Structure 1
């Protein structure tokens, strides 16, 4: 079995609605267990938060927009985080960051 390619930072070009997804993430078809297994195989720690954690107001919440334009999530302060995606969820726009876990 070939070794799985480890993902890392890539150029982020958000779409016309402000969303973006890392191109090297496989399609898991909403299979949470497969996603967790893949993260483990990649050695990634993941963090994320919803847009409402960063912005008090946005047209998205008034049903005036289906985008997250104007939201520029800050990279976490620790070293080596890279963007996995900015995407819409049932609870609104969400950003997800990853970094390789260091094993002693």
Structure 2
């Protein structure tokens, strides 16, 4: 992890008039739609993600009749340690994405799924 990189944290969520929102700490990756830079950044941040769509939670929403909003959909976090990364529109409809820090093993600062941080990283907690 680069020393100048700031770890993304929970922030206050203020959805726009259509119900959409994205975390202001997510880089824009020069506007690319390639998911690889985002996935690399997530790994560098030491995050675990959970994503699902509005259809998984609601039986009906005006979005499916052509409305361009997700107002009224209030997805709940999978647990208290999760923070919102975004509520966004996709080709498959509205999606929500949550994140949390991976558990650190304590020996090198890596997560329980294998090391995610360099052992000399300032965020490693032996």
Report the TM-score, using the length of structure 2 for normalisation.
Answer: 0.78
Determine which structure has the larger strand proportion and give its number: 1
Runs of 4+ with deviation above 2 angstroms? none
Aligned to 2:21: 20
Aligned to 1:5: 6
* Matching of residue 42 in structure 1 with residue 53 in structure 2: no
Aligned to 1:67: 69
Bigger radius of gyration among the two: 2
Unaligned runs of 5+ in 2: 106-126
Q: How many residues align?
A: 102
| CA deviation vs aligned residue, 1:46-93 (integer Å, no higher than 9, x gap) | 011000011000011111x1000000001103x410000000000000
CA distance in 1, matches of 2:23, 2:6: 14
Tell which has more relative contact order, 1 or 2 (C-alpha 8 A, sep 6+): 1
Report the TM-score, using the length of structure 1 for normalisation.
Answer: 0.93
